[in-house]
Each structure stands twice: as structure tokens, then as C-alpha cells.
Amino acid sequence: MSADIKELKIIEEAKKPLSMNPKKFALWLFMMSVIMLFGAWTSAYLVKRADAGWAEIILPDQFWINSVIAVLSSVTMIWAYLAAKRDNIDQLKIALALTTVLGVAFLAGQYLAYGEMVALKQHMTGSNVSHSFLWILPGVHGLHIVSGLVFLVIVLVNAFKFKIHSKSLNQLEMCATYWHFLGGLWLYLFIFLILNP
């Protein structure tokens, strides 16, 4: 009888589901592919920077402001998560709304930064690869910010429908993970560009 119980226990252990939610796993795979993409571009940047004729880049001042906005948006996202864990739905809504506004402000700031680059005559042209990198890296990151904002709006709508709370955090956790990732990615790019003009 005890052998049957042990056999049953082994079968039950084998049938245990994966410890990570499949959607979270897919998100992590996607983020790893984004890391590889930007890793390849920053590696190419370093290789090209060693070539003759590399024009030194001047970073727009707006990038500093955008970095502060990125950090603040991560803080408000943490606030949203903590509010949801405490079932404080009013604070959750405010924090998510603030995060969304800061995300839009970040994108607007990137637009202003492009205006600064034009004023500095740092155009995206085939003749000057260094300036092209300065347009591509923030531009592609900005596209990912747009996807993050779409995700944020979906979560915000669900918060207003009372679908996000302490017993239902999966969607918020995924959104927060992606949002912090995007903020971290921006800080990486900004520091990389500061150290490699």
C-alpha cells in the first residue's frame, strides 16, 4: 500500500505545472530579444566609433530630463503595485494614471530631443554614421515605450473595472516588469552614449 502511495506521489509531482506563468515567460523571452537587439547595436556603435571619420556626438540636454522622467515613472509604477497589494484601488488608479502621463511626457521629451539634434546639425545621414546611431537608438526605444504605454492603458482600464487587486496581480506584475525594463534600458543607452561620445 505504501508503495502505491509513493508511486502516486511521484506521478503528482511530475504533473505539477511550470512555476512561471506562460505569459510571463513569453514576456521575459521578448525582453531578452530586445536586450540582444540593443546589445548588437551598441556593439556596432563601438566598432564604428573606432573607424576614421567618426564625428563626435553632442547629446541633447533633454536626454537628462527624460532620464529623470523615466526614473519617476518607475517610482509611480512601484506605488501602483504596492497599492494593488494593499487593495487600495483609488491609489492604484492614481499611480497608474501618473505612470501613463510620465510615459507620454517621456515620449514628448524624446521628440524635443530630436529637435535639439536637428538644431545641432546632427542629422541621420549615410555620410555620418555616428549621428545615425543617435537617432536610431532612442527612436527604437521610443517604439518600445509606445508598446509599454498601450500595456499601461490596458492595465489602467482594468483597474477602473476592479480587475486588478491583491488576488489578481498577474497583469500588473507583467506591466510593471516591462515598464521597469524599458526604464532600465533607457538609462543603459543614455549612460552608454555619455561614456562613448
Residue 96 lies in a domain: yes
Residue 112 lies in a domain: yes
Residue 16 lies in a domain: no
- Give the residue numbers spanning the domain of 119: 23-195
Residue 129 lies in a domain: yes
Q: What is the CATH number of the domain that holds 139?
A: 1.20.120.80
Residue 133 lies in a domain: yes
Residue 18 lies in a domain: no
pLDDT at residue 63, as a whole number: 95
Grid coordinates representing 116 are: 535639439
List Cβ<8 Å contacts ≥24 apart for 37-46.
Answer: 37/140, 38/137, 38/140, 38/141, 38/185, 38/188, 38/189, 41/133, 41/136, 41/137, 41/140, 42/137, 42/189, 42/192, 45/133, 45/137, 45/192, 45/196, 46/196
Mean pLDDT by 10-residue block, N- to C-terminus, for the chain (197 residues)? 53 56 90 95 90 82 96 97 94 97 97 90 72 89 96 94 88 95 97 91
Count of the separate structural domains present in the chain: 1
Residue 105 lies in a domain: yes
pLDDT at residue 50, as a whole number: 82
Q: Print burial letters for 94-113: b (CB count within 10 Å at least 16), e (below 16).
A: bbbbbbbebbbbbbebbebb
pLDDT tens per residue, range 118-129: 888 877 775 677
